């Protein structure tokens, strides 16, 4: 459901602050306790879930 996010989003946007990427809709969620999406993420982690590791989109190929 979530992926660690470092430096650049899968769309190629540069990220300057700590964030998490929500895979279901492509949302970039900042680490902000005032953000309901971030609170949902923290609860998801507290339930024992682990985000997928970060993948640098510059290193992903489409197989062609």
Structure tokens at 8: 């650049």
Q: How far is the C-alpha of 38 from the C-alpha of 63, rounded, in Å? A: 34
Full-model pTM? 0.73
Phi, psi of 24 (to 5 degrees): -60, -35
Q: Name the strands in the sheet holding 27-30, side by side, starting at the edge strand that comes first in the sequence.
A: 2-5, 19-22, 27-30
Where along the chain do its domains lie? Answer: 2-53
Confidence of residue 64 (pLDDT cuts 50, 70, 90): very low
pLDDT at 61: 55
Confidence of residue 62 (pLDDT cuts 50, 70, 90): low
First to last CA, the chain: 27
CA nearest 27: which of 52, 48, 1, 50? 1
pLDDT at 19: 85
- Residue-wise pLDDT tens digits, 1-59: 888 877 666 566 677 777 888 989 989 898 899 999 999 999 999 999 999 887 766 66
């Amino acid at each position: 459901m979530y992926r660690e996010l470092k430096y650049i989003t899968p769309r190629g946007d540069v990220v300057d602050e700590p964030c998490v990427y929500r895979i279901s809709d492509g949302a970039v969620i900042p680490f902000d306790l005032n953000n309901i999406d971030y609170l949902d993420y923290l609860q998801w982690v507290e339930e024992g879930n682990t985000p997928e590791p970060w993948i640098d989109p510059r290193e992903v190929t489409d197989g062609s």
